[in-house]
Amino acid sequence: MNTSLLIQLLVNGVIVGMLYGIVAMCFVLIYKSTQVVNFAQGEFVVLGAWVCLALVVNMGLPFWLAFLFSLVFMMVFGILVQVVLLRPLLGEPVISVIMATIGLSIFMQATMNWIFGNNAVRFPQVFDRGTVEIAGLNVETAYLMSFVLSLVVMGLFFWFFQYSRWGLAMRATAYNQQIAQSLGISVGRVFAMAWAISAVVSGIAGVVIGLVSAVSNSLAIIGIKVFPAVIVGGLDSIVGAIIGGLTIGILENLAEFVDGQYLHIGNMYSVAPFYVLLIILMIKPYGLLGTPDIERV
């Protein structure tokens, strides 16, 4: 038993899991307030990272300015997607909406491949890449920064939904659209805002991942990894999304450890979450924290 490797992997799991949690949170935000499953969430993450990178490298902007501009871009992009693509599909069956976001994801993938190329690109040095020793463990500062930033984003989310006027409006809409509308909330605007926030936060996650490792189109896989996470947490629970993200992050690394040390099957890292997903769906069809959909006739 290699204890230090195990602990190292667990720490990695927590840090990666936080990022999964953030993206899962964006996903749940859209689902909860607009009942749309966004299969293009991973592409949103990558798009944010690419735009920020292009602003830094091609336009020569300082990082913080580029970061800010890319967030504005993502906001506009999210609103556009909602208004142009999903508003006409209101009231259509689930499969149409799912297929629309899948179509969007294919389209975005191809476009980004074309514009930004197929290679992984590193950000120019923004922070120094040292390591910090915490309780006998070497943690890269970049990882630490991503961890802190994830916490900040989560805190902002909490504040937004607990205290801000718009956050409350969104919660009301998620609870019952008709009641929300009769209270004077513009449901259309709330929908657009849900997409905007989700796109912006995905963009933040993308930039963070880009800073920690590198930007490439294969990062979009995080959009797929989100599914096990949200199923663990329940599709409509924001707290569940974070817990689910952490669980999947840790689980991946545990699977890697068990596989590397004992089983030697290989590739457990990427498949284990999907086995867990199927098992959870068999036992609890609405996820661990999701609201069961009770139907009365």
Partner 1 sequence: MAHVPNPRPTGDFRATYAADRTLFRTRNETMAVLAGVVLVALCPLVFGGYVLSQLIMIGIYGIAALGLNVLTGMTGQISLGHGAFFGFGAFASAWISGNGIPVLIAIPLAGLMTMAVGMIFGIPAARLKGLYLAIATLASQYILQDFFARADWFTGGTYGSLAETASFFGFQLNSDARYLYLVLFWVVIAFVAVANLARTRDGRALVAVRDHYLSAEIMGINLTRYRILSFGISSFFAGIAGALYGHYLGFVSAEGFTILLSIEFLAMIIIGGLGSVSGSLLGAAFILLLPQAMEVFANGVATVVPAIAQGTAYIKQMSVGAAIILFLVLEPQGLVHRWRMTRASWKLFPFSH
Residue 78 binds partner 1 (CB under 8 A): no
Residue 96 binds partner 1 (CB under 8 A): yes
Residue 160 binds partner 1 (CB under 8 A): no
Specify the amino acid at residue 187: V
How many residues of this chain bind partner 1 (CB under 8 A)?
A: 44
Residue 76 binds partner 1 (CB under 8 A): no
Rounded to an integer, what distance in angstroms lies between the CA atom of residue 84 and that of residue 146? 33
Residue 37 binds partner 1 (CB under 8 A): yes
Contact present, 27 and 230 (Cβ < 8 Å): yes
Rounded to an integer, what distance in angstroms lies between the CA atom of residue 224 and that of residue 227? 6
The least CB distance from residue 211 to partner 1, in Å, is 27
Neighbours of 210 (CB within 10 A): 25
Residue 297 binds partner 1 (CB under 8 A): yes
Q: Strand pairing partners for 131?
A: 140
Rounded to an integer, what distance in angstroms lies between the CA atom of residue 130 and that of residue 138? 10
Coil, helix or strand for 179? helix
Residue 25 binds partner 1 (CB under 8 A): no
Residue 286 binds partner 1 (CB under 8 A): yes
Residue 59 binds partner 1 (CB under 8 A): no
Q: What tokens does 263 get?
A: 């089983």
Residue of 10, 98, 156, 258 interacting with partner 1 (CB under 8 A) = 98
Any idea which residue has 């999907």 for tokens? 274
Q: What tokens does 226 get?
A: 């989100």
- What are the residues binding partner 1 (CB under 8 A)? 31, 37, 85, 88-89, 92, 94-96, 98-100, 102-111, 113-114, 224, 227-228, 231, 235, 265-267, 270-271, 274-275, 277-278, 281-282, 285-286, 295, 297
